[in-house]
């Protein structure tokens, strides 16, 4: 038997024996992205809208240091916290057809999670950590043509990622310039933006305190403001609280304008702002939300070096320092 004949025969046998499922397509997408030093976090599925065939799968890769989940809730299901899950997590290679939720749990640093889609339908997917990180999968019957290829989605993911990272770096640059031009006692504690696609929403957030460090005099009050539309941050001095982020520590009071306030009298003292975050967007038919607590003030009564962090995002480098000089210096 010639080599060529053997090869032809093998191919023919393979074509006859291999079941149709082999032609199911394994699609690829990203959950999250970040810049080189993790300061700018893209809280987005990239791309966040795909058209696939029933029987296909999608594998999401989680390249960032910030956690995300890939979660398909049942239609109309009440959104749970990330810790609660849908409930809990479901294994890699779970199937989703709308009848039971699928949840990867928190993934980071290059982990992957694959979902199979056995039935036609239009399905929303979300990240339980980031409320404005959503997407849609359109699962079509095998007889229908798909509008896009994997190459199209790769290009779209790249373009969306680059656009969001660029927006983030422009914002970070503006914050640094503003802090240089107006040195004072104001610190920005995060910023960001939400953008929409046909499939849902995507967010980019700056996970940095600006300026850092800040230099003030004893007796001064430093004010932190979070201008991110959706992402919470904390300002936490001293002993890092263990476990999930807590409400403000007992030594935090509330100023007449609603901002939180504490007094620090020694560099070892602990104080925790609690969440600083804009309130949820109002929706017709629901009670309007409060104005939210986005500001925290600390009065420093003695000179020294005071280190702090965001309890939620210190793992991606969101830390800061206040240098307090003696009054009059
Ligand atoms: Cu933070």
Could you say which residues of the chain have pLDDT below 70? 1-22, 329
Q: Can you give the pTM of this predicted structure?
A: 0.86
Phi/psi of residue 120, each to 5°? -60, 145
Distance of CA 112 from the midpoint of ligand 1 (Å) = 24
Distance of CA 151 from the midpoint of ligand 1 (Å) = 34
Residue-level pLDDT at 282: 93
Question: What mean pLDDT, rounded, does the chain reach?
Answer: 92
Distance of CA 212 from the midpoint of ligand 1 (Å) = 14
Residue-level pLDDT at 22: 54
* Secondary structure (H, E, C), 120-143: CEEEEEECCCCCCCEEEEEEECCC
Distance of CA 68 from the midpoint of ligand 1 (Å) = 14
Distance of CA 218 from the midpoint of ligand 1 (Å) = 26
Please choose, from the candidates 196, 186, 158, 192, the residue with its C-alpha nearest in 3D space to the C-alpha of residue 172: 192
Distance of CA 231 from the midpoint of ligand 1 (Å) = 7
Distance of CA 232 from the midpoint of ligand 1 (Å) = 6
Q: Give the single-character DSSP code of 88.
A: B
Distance of CA 95 from the midpoint of ligand 1 (Å) = 33
Distance of CA 308 from the midpoint of ligand 1 (Å) = 11
Distance of CA 43 from the midpoint of ligand 1 (Å) = 13
Distance of CA 65 from the midpoint of ligand 1 (Å) = 13
Distance of CA 172 from the midpoint of ligand 1 (Å) = 15
Please choose, from the candidates 299, 303, 298, the residue with its C-alpha nearest in 3D space to the C-alpha of residue 327: 303
Distance of CA 25 from the midpoint of ligand 1 (Å) = 38
Distance of CA 77 from the midpoint of ligand 1 (Å) = 28
Residue-level pLDDT at 121: 98
Q: Is the Cβ–Cβ distance between 223 and 260 less than 8 Å?
A: no
Residue-level pLDDT at 1: 42
Whole-angstrom distance, CA of residue 324 vs CA of residue 292: 29
């Amino acid at each position: 038997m010639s080599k060529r004949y053997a090869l032809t025969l093998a191919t023919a046998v393979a074509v006859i024996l291999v079941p149709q499922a082999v032609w199911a397509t394994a699609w690829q997408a990203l959950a999250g992205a970040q810049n080189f030093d993790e300061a700018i976090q893209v809280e987005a599925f990239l791309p966040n809208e795909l058209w696939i065939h029933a029987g296909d799968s999608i594998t999401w890769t989680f390249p960032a240091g910030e956690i995300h989940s890939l979660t398909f809730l049942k239609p109309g299901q009440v959104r749970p916290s990330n810790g609660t899950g849908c409930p809990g997590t479901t294994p890699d290679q779970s199937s989703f057809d709308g009848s039971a939720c699928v949840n990867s749990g928190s993934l980071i640093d290059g982990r992957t999670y694959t979902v199979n889609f056995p039935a036609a339908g239009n399905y929303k997917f979300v990240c339980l950590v980031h409320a404005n990180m959503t997407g849609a999968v359109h699962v079509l019957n095998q007889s229908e043509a798909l509008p896009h290829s994997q190459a199209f989605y790769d290009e779209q993911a790249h373009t969306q990622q680059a656009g969001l990272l660029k927006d983030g770096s422009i914002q970070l640059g503006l914050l640094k310039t503003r802090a240089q031009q107006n040195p004072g006692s104001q610190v920005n504690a995060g910023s960001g933006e939400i953008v929409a696609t046909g499939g849902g929403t995507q967010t980019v957030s700056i996970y940095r305190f600006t300026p850092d460090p800040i230099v003030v005099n004893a007796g001064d009050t430093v004010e932190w403001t979070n201008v991110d539309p959706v992402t919470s941050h904390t300002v936490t001095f001293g002993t890092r609280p263990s476990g999930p982020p807590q409400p403000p520590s007992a030594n935090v009071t509330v100023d007449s304008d609603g901002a939180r306030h504490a007094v620090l009298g020694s560099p070892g003292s602990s104080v925790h702002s609690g969440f600083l975050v804009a309130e949820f967007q109002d929706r017709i038919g629901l009670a309007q939300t409060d104005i939210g607590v986005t500001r925290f003030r600390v009065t420093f009564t003695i000179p020294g070096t005071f280190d702090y962090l965001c309890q939620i995002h210190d793992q991606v480098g969101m830390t800061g320092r206040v240098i307090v000089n003696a009054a009059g210096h």
